[in-house]
């Protein structure tokens, strides 16, 4: 697999994973908004079904060895993961993919706040500087000068960022004694089940004939590559790189989101938006760099970010920290 891999090669492959995560923002937006999109919970059902199937095949032996406590922890963390992705996907229908990418990145700087309030872990001073910088960037990006209230889409995606931060804290609190691969798979399976239940409750299922190629493309890329594939790659590549490299590489996700939003959807940010995005990135880096981030956060995260989209995957869609952390990748 990755035998003999060099550090720069591992970093390059992790950068490719980050690029895939960024590309999912405009893809998911197009797949869940008119004229060709399907309802949010129907899309999430398909996405997590595919990811759970692939991860289940990869981790079936580990799942068989998992006890009731692992399944219970995975179920609770999976519900948090689902909530984050649901808010993000709903918000994408009411804001731009580029803004959603940067606002989702706030989850990194929210982790110290959540850890202080929930886990009673005091953050380092640099983490607070990251929080203030990032929220200053959010204000520049979301407030247009005529109103002091962000748009509904921005607020939903901000809720998603809080959800991903809670997901990371939940992994830190409950994931320690459990197999990270099995736990990630259970999280994604729970997210799939929750998506189906809400799709059924809201009457969101379209006819199969109404699901077009654009939607299926987004399902395959988010479910197979951004979640299941990211889970496998992160767990395979983590031994060949460093936590610092990983943190810096994953901090590029909002940049990829903005680039793909421009390329695939023709979206551009205003000068205020670019300045706000820059401040958010600066805050993310302050929260992630050695000596400035929350002490012990990496160790508590089940493997430094492999296993988030869900270990973000989402497999983030974890995260995104391990794949579990981000949940964006189910192993992100």
Give pTM, 2 decimals: 0.82
Cis ω for the linkage preceding 35 (within 30 of 0) = yes
CA–CA separation, 318 and 88 (whole Å): 13
**233 to each of 48, 168, 194, how far by Cα in Å?**
18, 19, 26
DSSP labels for 35-93?
TT---HHHHHHHHHHHHHHHHHHHHHHHHHH--HHHHHHHHHHHHHHHHHHHHHHHHHT
Q: Which domain holds residue 224?
A: 25-326
Q: What percent of the chain has pLDDT over 90?
A: 44
Judge contact between 269 and 35, C-beta under 8 A: no
Dig out the tokens for 167 from the structure: 């997901």
Q: How far apart are CA 231 and CA 225, in angstroms?
A: 9
Q: Can you tell me the distance from the alpha carbon of 221 to that of 96, in angstroms, rounded to the nearest whole number?
A: 19
pLDDT at 143 over 80: no
d(CA 197, CA 191): 10
Q: How far apart are CA 167 and CA 323, in angstroms?
A: 11
324 bridge partner residues: 307
Asked, for residue 108, whether it belongs to a domain, the answer is yes
Model confidence at 46, pLDDT cuts 50, 70, 90, reads: very high
How far, in Å, CA of 304 to CA of 253, rounded?
A: 16
Tokens of 15: 């950068």
Residue 301 lies in a domain: yes
As for how many domains the chain has, the answer is 1
- 195 is a domain residue: yes
What tens digit of pLDDT does each residue of 211-268 get?
Answer: 999 999 999 999 999 988 887 787 677 678 776 677 778 788 899 999 999 999 899 8
How many CB atoms within 10 Å of residue 207?
7
Confirm whether 15 is domain-assigned: no
Q: How far apart are CA 204 and CA 40, in angstroms?
A: 8
Mean pLDDT over residues 33-38, rounded? 90
- Report if residue 20 sits inside a domain: no
Residue 256 lies in a domain: yes
Per-residue model confidence (pLDDT) at position 147: 59
Residues in the chain: 332
Average pLDDT across the chain, whole number: 81
Residue 57 burial (CB < 10 Å; 0-12/13-18/19+)?
exposed
């Amino acid at each position: 697999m990755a035998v003999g891999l060099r550090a720069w090669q591992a970093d390059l492959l992790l950068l490719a994973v980050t690029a895939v995560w960024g590309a999912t923002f405009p893809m998911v937006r197009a797949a869940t908004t008119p004229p060709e999109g399907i309802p949010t919970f129907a899309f999430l059902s398909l996405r997590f079904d595919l990811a759970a199937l692939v991860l289940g095949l990869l981790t079936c032996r580990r799942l068989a060895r998992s006890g009731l406590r692992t399944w219970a922890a995975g179920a609770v963390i999976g519900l948090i993961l689902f909530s984050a992705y649901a808010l993000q996907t709903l918000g994408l229908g009411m804001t731009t993919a580029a803004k959603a990418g940067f606002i989702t990145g706030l989850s990194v700087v929210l982790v110290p706040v959540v850890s202080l309030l929930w886990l009673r872990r005091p953050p380092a001073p640099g983490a607070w500087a990251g929080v203030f910088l990032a929220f200053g960037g959010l204000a520049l990006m979301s407030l247009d000068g005529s109103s002091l209230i962000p748009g509904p889409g921005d607020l939903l995606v901000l809720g998603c960022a809080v959800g991903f931060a809670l997901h990371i804290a939940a992994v830190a609190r409950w994931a320690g004694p459990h197999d990270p691969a099995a736990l990630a798979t259970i999280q994604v399976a729970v997210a799939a089940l929750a998506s189906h239940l809400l799709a059924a409750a809201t009457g969101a299922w379209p006819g199969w004939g109404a699901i077009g190629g654009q939607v299926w493309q987004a399902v395959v890329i988010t479910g197979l590559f951004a979640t299941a594939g990211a889970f496998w790659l992160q767990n395979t590549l983590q031994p060949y790189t460093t936590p610092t490299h990983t943190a810096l590489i994953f901090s590029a996700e909002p940049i990829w989101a903005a680039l793909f939003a421009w390329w695939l959807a023709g979206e551009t940010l205003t000068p205020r938006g670019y300045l706000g995005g820059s401040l958010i990135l600066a805050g993310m880096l302050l929260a992630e760099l050695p000596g400035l981030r929350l002490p012990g956060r990496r160790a508590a995260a089940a493997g430094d970010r492999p296993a988030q989209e869900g270990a973000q995957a989402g497999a983030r869609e974890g995260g995104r920290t391990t794949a579990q952390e981000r949940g964006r990748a189910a192993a992100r």
